[in-house]
Amino acid sequence: MRYRVLGGTGIQVSAHCLGTMMFGSVGNPDHDDCVRIIHAALDQGINFVDTADMYSAGESEVIVGKALAGRRDDVVLATKVHFPMGDGPGPNRGGNSRRWIVREAEESLRRLGTDWIDLYQIHRPDHSTDVEETLSALTDLVRAGKIRAFGCSTFPAEEIVESHQVAERRALGRFRTEQPPYSILARGIESAVLPVCQRYGMGVLTWSPLASGFLSGAIRKDRPVDLTTGRARLTPGRFDPAIPENAAKLDAVERLVGLADEVGCTLPQLAVAFAAAHPAVTSVIIGPRTMEQLDGLLKGATVTLDDDALDRIDEIVPPGTNTYHPDGAWRSPYLADPTHRRRPPADRAAA
């Protein structure tokens, strides 16, 4: 296993990070099996584990806590905060406010059964909260010894830049890492997000290298899709081949399968090796649901793509382009809500 420094923190992390989104009710509900998977990953050299408070409503953190009992000192543990938690309808049960961050950090520590979190990440932007408020709360958590470093996840390049400017002006801690979606089929972050992270010396841990299952090898053109497992079970519409976006992905997959055969690896191994090849990427998050999936991905940990293979990938999906908008990726509220683009009717009439 290869190790890299995480965003100038001096912390050495494995080039593959174990993602645990599929541990718990959403994916694998067998806690003992999930613990075995985590232990197997650690035994094979992975020292970086990523989870989030909202994964299976906290259950993933509980599972990770069980698995790390007795092994905590050897693991770099990352989790995230932002999405609503709990059964209550309260308007303050989520977001990036000091109120929520401080409260939920304590809840994550409790579920994880640990005294500290190595990397605490803001899961998504929150335009109702001043970024200074967020950075201030995170800085105080570092000073209190609750967390060691903090980062952001799925932030657009301009908001990463703003966060660094605010941190410098206000003498606050800064985001040390960014966690964006990145795969052969979703390369949009190559145009701005990754260069910005390099400019600010940030570590990058990428998620969804298998493009929500499209690069798993299980989803192929002219084959029926099993909609009862994994992501397909959660969002079956994302895999409908009648949708032009999905058809384009399937066309690219067929060409990538041929390339993987020539390279001498599986399609998932090709996908993970591609993400790890970018100089801005510190660690690639792999999110297995089963031991078989973990074994298959780790067998490709030593796969290295040469320039010829990377050039071939560029021909199939050009650099900086997306064949689809990555599931769960950030969308600008200024595009989603028409009121941000239109003057009120009275103002338009007056003009």
Q: Residues with catalytic annotation?
A: 55
* 8 A C-beta contact, residue 211 and residue 188: no
Closest by CA position to 76, among listed 53, 46, 96, 101? 46
Using left for φ > 0, alpha for ψ between -120 and 50, and beta otherwise, residue 11 falls in beta
Q: What is the 3-class SS of 32-72, one letter each residue?
A: HHHHHHHHHHHHCCCCEEECCCCHHHHHHHHHHHHHHCCCH
Residue 214 DSSP SS3: coil
Residue 60, Cβ density class (10 Å: 0-12 exposed, 13-18 middle, ≥19 buried): buried
Cβ neighbors of 65 (< 8 A, separation 6 or more) are 111, 112, 113, 114
